[in-house]
Structure 1
Amino acid sequence: MSQPASFINLEKTIGVLFKDKNMLVRALTHRSSVRQSRSIGHNERLEFLGDAVLELVSTEYLFQFTDKSEGELTSWRSALVKGEHLATVANEIQLGSYIFMSRGEEASGGREKPSTLANAVEALIGALFLDQGYDKAKDFCDQFILNHLQKLLAEGKHQDFKSVFQEKSQELLGITPHYEVISEEGPDHDKEFTCAVFLQDERVAEGKGNSKQRAEQAAAKQGIQVKKWN
């Protein structure tokens, strides 16, 4: 098992001292760390909880924008909770260096893997919620995740590329695109999908992601560039 850095600096960075240190350890234990998983448990259940907490915190935050439609707020929330953004947050607080994982996982670049980093952020939020309560979990989200909203909007991260590609293809070509999974790689808990977007029989572009939805979005984004519809 590969040992992570001391948690002291992480607690200083996020401004929280955990009452139950095992809760923090569990949040930062990757499934591949078999010995640690057996004694403490891995972080997938905390990831599940943290995902729900982040969804609520983000929704509560965005509700203040009273001049925006439900559709706009939904796309903004999607940008905030997207794995790509959470992986960036993880890098900002150097979360990868604290994760327990197998030596094999580390050797394959596990500490830099976006899906692993994003999952660890969600698990950390779940651990904060259980150990410190909703307000502390919310404070973390406010300070490290929600504060990036304007930057995400400026970079167009809130855009639904599948919707844009479909609107353009129907408007200009009278064709509704469809998507197919080309390949799946990796173990069940850490798969990478490759999806292709088609216009009838034309294979326009491909995209990768740690879920089918993200791979389809990546394919649509690439398809927009291929067709010069941006």
Structure 2
Amino acid sequence: MQTIEFENKIGYKFLDKNLLIRALTRKALAYEKPLENHQEAFCVLGDAIIKVVLCDLLIKKGLETKGQITQKKAFLENEKILAEIGRSMNLDDYIITNEGEKSTNIFKGDRAIAETLEAIIAAIYSDQGFVYAKEVVTFLFKNKLKQTYT
């Protein structure tokens, strides 16, 4: 897999490429061959990181009430938006999965792409910490953030 090409798309270079491979590897692949590392746990962590970063960005944009922040965050972090961001960088071209998901194109669906994007954010966090993960989330969401204020 060409990790350099993908790293250029997200604006981040991994020190540990195995973290990126884990983030791109769907749990479904474990049904075909034994795997210790797949994206499932990273999806949970990445989701939490995205929530924190989006809250911070929304507050810095001037949102003050819980209702305002919650509403905008819910819009930005939904599966459809995450999938749009993932598709904008052809994320499905890099997802590692099993033949079953490939034959049915499940890995190209909103959920699979959104989960993979979350896992990538967690991989960045695991690689070099929160500051780098925050930079990438900010970069990836910049256009969507602009759209919420126009």
With normalisation by structure 1, the TM-score equals 0.61
Name the CA shift for 1:67/1:17 in 2 (closer, same or farther; >3 Å). Answer: closer
Q: Does 1:48 align with 2:19?
A: no
Provide closer, same or farther for how the CA distance between residues 121 and 36 of structure 1 changes in structure 2, counting only shifts above 3 A. farther
- Preserved contact between residue 3 and residue 17 of structure 2 (Cα < 8 Å): no
Paired amino acid for 1:81: E
Distance across 2 between alignment mates of 1:138 and 1:37: 34
Deviation at 1:67, TM superposition (A): 5.4
Identity of aligned residues (%): 29
Q: Per-residue displacement from partner, 1:10-64 (whole Å, max 9, x unpaired)?
A: 0111222211111111101101112787344110100111111111101111112
Structure 2: where are the runs of 5+ without partners? none
| Structure 1 pair 104–74 and aligned structure 2 pair: CA distance change class (3 A) | same
**Highest CA radius of gyration, 1 or 2?**
1
Q: What number of residue pairs does the alignment pair up?
A: 150
Cα distance between partner residues in 1 of 2:20 and 2:37: 11
Secondary structure at 1:33's aligned position in 2?
helix
Is 2:138 the counterpart of 1:142?
A: yes
RMSD: 1.9
Structure 2 letter corresponding to 1:96: D
8 Å CA contact retained: 1:87, 1:118: yes
Match of 2:68 in 1: 72
Aligned to 1:84: 80
Q: Partner of 1:205 in structure 2?
A: none
Tell whether the 8 Å contact from 1:76 to 1:153 is kept in structure 2 after alignment. no
**Kept after mapping to 1: 8 A contact 2:43/2:122:** yes
> Are residue 126 (structure 1) and residue 148 (structure 2) matched?
no
Separation in 2, partners of 1:51, 1:34:
22
> Is the alpha carbon distance of 1:67 and 1:135 closer, same or farther for their aligned partners in structure 2, counting shifts above 3 Å?
closer
Q: Does structure 2 conserve the Cα–Cα contact (< 8 Å) formed by 1:31 and 1:37? A: no
Question: Structure 2 CA distance, aligned partners of 1:130 and 1:36?
Answer: 27
1:19 aligns with 2:54: no
CA distance in 2, matches of 1:7, 1:136: 18
Task: Name the structure where helix makes up a greater proportion of residues.
Answer: 2
Q: Which consecutive unaligned segments of at least 5 residues does structure 1 have?
A: 155-230
Q: Which has the higher strand share?
A: 1
Q: Which TM-score applies when normalising by structure 2?
A: 0.90
Higher RCO by CA contacts (8 Å cutoff, separation 6 or greater): 2
1:106 aligns with 2:102: yes
